[in-house]
Structure 1
Amino acid sequence: MEYYKQLRKYVGHQPLILPGSNVLILNNKGEVLLQEREPSIYGLPGGLMELGESFEDTARREILEETGLHIGTLQLCNVYSGPDYYIENPNGDKFYSVSAVYKTLEYSGEIIADGMESISLKFFPPTQLPDGITVNYRKFIEDALL
């Protein structure tokens, strides 16, 4: 079971601090791979840290799970945290996200949406992001690439 789900058994909907990683995977045209998480809702592939993982370990595991890709060298772009990253989920869960954002040009494998966390995966030019990208992911991309 995922670590944060274990914590929820004890704290219910109370706020948690949840660390995770996201990765800007860039193709040779400089386009960024976006994950359609829900119909017309886009973000960067990535997810929450498990016990004993580093931010890089988390990035590599999540990318493989969600996209089918193996990634190479990761360059840390920034770490985002604080009140701007407070989230209340529709189920009542509250948390503060701490996100390490990386970028890479090195990847191998076949891009495959997992069907659970990824409906589809597609490269977009950073200046032509879809309307359905969330504010935080748009900021991560703009800070890293523009």
Structure 2
Amino acid sequence: MEYYKQLRQYVGHDPLILPGAVVLIFNDKKELLLQERERGVFGLPGGLMELGESLEDTARREVLEETGLRLGRLTLCNVYSGPDYYSENPNGDKFYSVTAVYKTYEYTGNITPDENETISLQFFSPEHLPDGILTSYRKFIEDEFL
């Protein structure tokens, strides 16, 4: 069972701090890989940390699970946290995200979307990103390009 789900058994819907990582993956054309998790809603591959993992381990595991890609060298771009990263899920779960954002141009493997979490995976030029990028992910992307 995922760590945060174990915690929810004890704290119910009370706020949790949830550390995680996402990765800006660029191809040789400097296009960015985006993950469509719901129809028309895009984000970056990544997810929540499990016990015993580093943030970099989290990034690598989540990207492999969601995309089928193995990552090479990762560069830490920034860590995002604080009141702007508070969320409440429709089920009432409250949490503060602490998200490490990495970038890489190095990956191997074939893009294989995880059928449980991914509708599609597609590279986009940073100048022509789709409208449906979630707000926090858009900030991560814009901070890298500004």
TM-score computed with the length of structure 1 as normaliser = 0.98
Distance in 2 between the 1:91 and 1:39 partners? Answer: 20
Shift of 1:13: 0.5
Q: Deviations over 1:94-140 (max 9, x none)?
A: 10000000000000000011111111000011121111101110110
Mapped to 2, the partners of 1:41 and 1:31 lie a distance apart of 18
Is the aligned partner of 1:14 residue 2:10?
no
> Which runs of no fewer than 5 residues in structure 2 stay unpaired?
none
Paired with 2:115 and 2:12, the residues of 1 have a C-alpha distance of 28
Whichever residue aligns with residue 3 of structure 1, its letter is Y
What runs of 5+ residues in structure 1 fail to find an aligned partner? none
Aligned to 1:44: 44
Q: Describe the SS at the equivalent of 2:128.
A: coil
CA distance in 2 between counterparts of 1:144 and 1:77 reads 7
Deviations 1:34-71 (A, max 9, x none): 00011110000000000000000000000000000000
Deviation, 1:145, is: 2.5
The alignment of Structure 1 onto Structure 2 pairs a total of residues equal to 146
- How do 1:11-90 and structure 2 match up within 5 A? 11-90=11-90
TM (norm. structure 2) is 0.98
Q: What is the root-mean-square deviation in Å for CA atoms of aligned residues?
A: 0.6
Q: How does 1:100-119 map to 2 (within 5 A)?
A: 100-119=100-119
